[in-house]
Amino acid sequence: MRTVFWENNELKMIDQRILPARFEVVSYRSHKDVAFAITDMVVRGAPAIGAAAAFGLALAGYESASSSTEGLLADLGAAAAVLKASRPTAVNLAWAADRLMRVAYSVEGSANELRNAVLAEAQKLADEDVEINKRMAEHGAALINDGDTIIHHCNTGALATVDWGTALGVIRTAHEQGKRIHVLVDETRPRLQGARLTAWELEQYGIPYEIISDNMSGYFLKAGKAQKVFFGADRVAANGDVANKIGSYMLALAAHDNNVPVYSVVPTSTIDLSLAHGDLIPIEERNTDEVLGIQFHGEPVAPKNAKARNPAFDVTPNRLLSGIVTENGVVYPPFEINLAKVVR
């Protein structure tokens, strides 16, 4: 099933906060509730967040009591601002909201026709995401050799998209092609998306894996026990700098030092050509409870009065990347030139 989907005039999403212990689908009828779900990480992963925001705008259309197109457009604009503010780093969120607003302003007809057009565009965006992921997966799978052990960071599978996945979608496709691969799954602290979500997905696909803590990656890379590194991205700058889940930079550094190829897998909607380099990407800093709330054997890890920091992302400089996999092919350096070509 899809991670994000429309059914019976509701937006439905897999609740990723409670996996792998429980599998539950939650329903939303309000764009503000969708915005909170994005902030609270009921749904996460740049493409999935984008689709959720798109359907959130569709909900806003039906929430609005306005009978005029002018009033409805005003309500949609206000809802788009609420949704875009829910998480700052993932560019797909603003991209999706802006795409739907462009469609909304282009509609010539009644308020109800406008509502229907916004919903139709949200569904189109979600369907396109699945096809884009499968195209990326084919391009990326060609980079994986039979027998490879791959280190994967965070979660980039079907749960992070509408369906199939970005970096994990590449791994899934390579597996389905018959390649014998093994995945070392970074826990991805502090929210443990690797240990909770990626491991759960790999079990569904029957792909062999082992969970490692984030600080073990260097050992496996130096020992020659990993041949590739794959992760996704929440925003890619015009020069190929990649903002991804915190810990990606350290992983890429260790891989680069040991001559292990590093690939970021992203749809072109995640590439932000308006930002010249990664230092301009806004980095979300989340509640420190995510760090301080971790327990070991049922007991808190940190002292009672401890303080913490919790940036959710870091930026991997383009010099550490071997390539960026998109639905239009694999982009190689110089990224400043080739990324613009693949986007256009």
Q: Say if residue 226's pLDDT is above 90.
A: yes
For residue 28, report the phi and psi dihedrals to the nearest 5 degrees. Answer: -135, 140
Instruction: Kindly report whether the global pTM for this prediction surpasses the value 0.95.
Output: no
H or E segment and range at residue 186: strand 182-186
The pLDDT value recorded for residue 163 is 96
- pLDDT tens per residue, range 258-295: 999 999 999 999 999 999 999 999 999 999 999 999 99
Distance CA 119, CA 115 (A): 6
pLDDT of residue 84: 95
Would you place residue 151 in the very low, low, confident or very high pLDDT band (cuts 50, 70, 90)?
A: very high
Confidence of residue 88 (pLDDT cuts 50, 70, 90): confident
Question: With bands split at pLDDT 50, 70 and 90, how would you rate the model's confidence at 96?
Answer: very high
112-150 burial, b at 16+ Cβ within 10 Å, e below that, comes to: eebbbbbbebbbebbebbbebbebbbbbbbebbeeebbb
Q: Which of 75, 186, 234, 241 is catalytic?
A: 234
Question: Are the CB atoms for 76 and 69 separated by under 8 Å?
Answer: no
135-343 CATH pick, 3.30.450.30, 3.40.50.620, 3.40.50.10470, 3.40.50.720:
3.40.50.10470
Q: Give me the mean pLDDT over the 175-194 stretch.
A: 97
The pLDDT tens digits of the residues spanning 31-83 come to 999 999 999 999 999 899 999 999 999 999 999 999 999 999 999 999 999 99
Q: What tokens does 11 get?
A: 């937006």
Q: Is 234 a catalytic residue?
A: yes
Neighbours of 177 (CB within 10 A): 14
% of the chain at pLDDT higher than 70: 100
Average pLDDT, the chain: 96
Q: Residue 16 pLDDT > 90, yes or no?
A: yes
* Residue intervals in the chain for CATH 1.20.120.420: 4-133
pLDDT score at 69: 94
State which amino acid sits at residue 135.
R
State the span(s) of the chain assigned CATH 3.40.50.10470: 135-343
CB 81 within 8 A of CB 94: no
Instruction: Pick one of 3.30.300.30, 1.20.120.420, 1.20.120.50, 3.40.1440.60 as the CATH number of 4-133.
Output: 1.20.120.420
Output the CA angle 131-137-139, nearest 5 degrees: 110
